[in-house]
Structure 1
Amino acid sequence: MTKIKFVALFSCLMLILLTACNTNEKSSIKLAEVTRSLFYAPQYVALEKGFFEEENLDVELQTTWGGDKTMTALLSDGADIALVGSETSIYVYTQNSKDYAVNFANLTQTDGTFLVAKEEHPEFKWKDLNDSIFLGQRKGGMPQMVGEFVLKKNNIDPHNDLELLQNVDFANIPGAFVSGDAEYVQLFEPTASVFEKEGKGHIIASFGEESGNVPYTGFMAKQSYLKENKDEAKRFTRAIYKAQQWVEENSAEEIAKVIQPYFEDTELDILTTSIQRYKDQDSFATNPSLKEEDWENLKEIMNEAGELKEDVPYDELVNTELAEEVANE
């Protein structure tokens, strides 16, 4: 073999090896979650079961505590991907943001709150809320919009037929319910089950069951990130899909055991009960693809709440390409 041919062959081999090495390099992703919630169980499963590591991803999770703060982190590059309510992407889009956030993987497909009452209501009907004091969630957020949507669906005007309280911060709602005059409150798990176990309240209805399928919480990233980091985003989506399938196929108790490190102050039986509630009402999406009919339901809920300033087409803010690709592999 001539020296020139040898050098050429050697160069080709080195190029192949370098390409393979680059493919195997671990990518880092900064992930911001809007709050620490049992509702996001599949995400914690993906972390604890090593599904991100299998995709050669080093995911750094931070809890940003609130939709506004989460979106600020995403838009300012403090996070690459955000787990937050899909309504926030609409708010950003309608502010004429140039590099707006796009929903590319859905995580939860129903509302995650429950109606909790101070007294037992063995034969509860939604009309029982008339003339009551109801402690709701923050105005403009998905829990509150869904809450009002469900009340209206049951012929209750939330601003005239009852006393609706919306002036309490999210973190302080449980304490305000216990110490205040409110007869009803809208709570997430595991707080709702903890209250029931401690005799502080009784779960009497599900807002998730009443409101139907909606892209309640999902993963989004800026347009520029998805364009420049398509491979990383696809591997991220594949890890989430693996976790969604694992959650679907395993018991609530097994899921609780896996994610307990993220909820050290909550007993295993409460975690198990809460997860089972969510599984029973199909809250956890089994596929990361965000359906158009669910998006339309989201817009209807926002419109009923007076928060949809303009129509936002599904094709503008939803990208199902990655989700469909990993689901069809």
Structure 2
Amino acid sequence: MKWKTIGSLLLTGALLLASVGCGAEPAAEKTKIRLSEVIRSVFYAPQYVAIEKGFFKEQGLEVELTTAWGGDKVMTAILSNQADVGLVGAETTVFVHQQGSPEPVVNFAQLTQRDGTFLVARQKIENFDWSMTKGKSIVGSRNGSMPEMVSEFVQRKNGVNPKADNQIIQNISFDNQTAAFASGTGDFYQAFEPAASILEKQGKGYPVISLGKDSGKLPYTVFLAKDSFIKANPNTIQKFTNAIQKAQNWVHNATPQEVADVIAPYFPQVEKDILVSVADRYKKADVWAKDPIIDQEEWENMHTVMRQAGELKTPGPYDKLVNTSFAEKAKQVK
């Protein structure tokens, strides 16, 4: 992420930061929320369910969804008042805290509770062991990204020294990784869905393990907003969180086919059977949080992952960067 750029924004935009979100909540029945998601991904299915099933509308909210295509871009949009709420990894708020932000960006609702990537091999492997990656190459993500930090954390946990025992290919853009692997680059590929299922259908790759299984629970993808916006708009944040909880309940009880049917409009290029496969794999991997509460154990686990990756200069204080009050109330709403 371009954290130097964000750092400059933090240092030069103090007056702007102080002024954002200071007005009263709109009196209109429908309140507009500008929501910026980090990427478009089936991983975020409960969010699309909340929109498509009308759960936001039931709360009197009109959600304007945009895709930023980058965690740094989401945070810049939040800090510059181009978005009200962001959907991105909680580690971004720690990075902003490390940059000395004059105002915290606060995590208020969790969407995913585990890493959503799968290690894809070129052949089917019935009993995969991480030692099989020694001397091999893995198409991975850039340094400092949560997928890469989790991958290296899981490798160490399983007796592999990443980048010493193997090669991690990090010079391929996210959009081109699947095509690169399919054409022969790398022995393994750390893939999000639907890439893993598409490769499997094509017979060009086979998911062998969920990285979220070994990484444990952590606030992988969360909804966040500036502290000033939350304090000025508590009713709006509560309604937003209520809708997310209802969507989480729905997804938890739905079949993979039902999930695929609802989110299909967001993935027009993905075949329906692939969406069903992805929903099934994600449900089995327990990646979707069942409630929006970000607990402290998950927060500390994220710190451990970041620390091992050498990306944690200053721990992010849980009591300053996490607000569970809205999620706790939403969990009680039937």
Which string of whole-angstrom CA distances, capped at 9 and with x for unpartnered residues, describes residues 27-79 of structure 1? 00000000000000000000000000001101000000011111111111110
Aligned residues: 308
Amino acid at match of 1:45: V
Is 1:241 paired with 2:245? yes
Aligned to 2:150: 146
Query: Is the alpha carbon distance of 1:259 and 1:230 closer, same or farther for their aligned partners in structure 2, counting shifts above 3 Å?
Result: same
- Aligned partner of 1:112 in structure 2 is 116
The answer as to whether partners of 1:106 and 1:219 remain within 8 angstroms in 2 is yes
Q: SS of 1:96's equivalent? A: coil
* Separation in 1, partners of 2:176, 2:103: 34
Match of 1:85 among 69, 85, 89: 89
1:123 Cα offset (Å): 2.7
Give how far 1:249 is off. 1.1
CA offsets 1:176-216 (integer angstroms, 9 cap, x no match):
21224310010001110010001110111110111111110
Partner of residue 181, structure 2: 177
> Whole-Å Cα distance in 1 between the matches of residues 143 and 77 of structure 2?
21
The residue aligned with 2:272 is: 268
2:126 aligned residue: 122
Give the whole-Å Cα distance in 2 for the aligned partners of 1:175 and 1:78. Answer: 33
Spell out, residue by residue over 1:288-324, the C-alpha distance to the aligned partner (whole angstroms, 9 max, x if none).
Answer: 0101100010000000100011122211110001111
2:205 to 190, 201, 216: 201
Q: What is the CA–CA distance in structure 1 between the aligned matches of 2:127 and 2:60, rounded to whole Å?
A: 52
Matched, 1:297 2:298: no
Paired with 2:189 and 2:239, the residues of 1 have a C-alpha distance of: 39
1:290 alignment partner, SS class: coil
Matched, 1:252 2:245: no
Distance 1:169 1:238 in 2: 36
Structure whose CA Rg is larger: 1
**Secondary structure in 2 matching 1:127:** helix
The separation in 2 between residues aligned to 1:201 and 1:326, in whole angstroms, is 40
1:120 and 1:289 map into 2 onto residues whose CA distance is 37
Whichever residue aligns with residue 85 of structure 2, its letter is I
Identity %: 50
Determine which of 30, 33, 38 is the counterpart of 2:37: 33
**How many Å apart are 1:89 and its aligned residue?**
0.7
Encode CA deviations 1:220-251: one digit per residue, 9 max, x unaligned.
00011001111111100000011000001111
Alignment match, 2:3: none
Q: Distance in 1 between matches of 2:182 and 2:194?
A: 16
- Calculate the aligned-residue CA RMSD, in Å: 1.1
Tell me if 1:48 matches 2:52. Answer: yes
5+ long unaligned stretches in structure 1 = 1-21
SS at match of 1:105: strand
Q: Name the counterpart of 2:13.
A: none
- Structure 2 residue runs of 5 or longer lacking an equivalent are 1-25
Partner of 1:210 in structure 2?
Answer: 214
Indicate the residue corresponding to 2:138 in structure 1.
Answer: 134
What SS is found at the alignment partner of 2:243?
helix
**Distance in 1 (alpha carbons) for counterparts of 2:180 and 2:302:** 29
Asked if 2 retains the 8 angstrom alpha-carbon contact of 1:138 and 1:170, the reply is no
Q: Which residue of 1 aligns with 2:316?
A: 312
* 1:24 Cα deviation after fit: 5.7
Q: 1:71 aligns with which of 66, 69, 75?
A: 75
Residue 162 (structure 1) aligns with: 166
CA distance in 2, matches of 1:273, 1:213: 23
> How big is the shift at 1:131?
0.2
**1:65 alignment partner, SS class:** coil
Aligned match of 2:17: none
TM-score (normalizing by structure 2):
0.90
The DSSP-based 3-state class of the residue aligned with 1:120 is coil
Local SS of the residue matching 2:76: helix
Deviates more, 1:175-184 or 1:201-210: 175-184
Secondary structure of 2:248's partner? helix
Instruction: Measure the CA separation in 1 of the matches of 2:184 and 2:82.
Output: 38
Which residue of structure 1 aligns with residue 290 of structure 2? Answer: 286
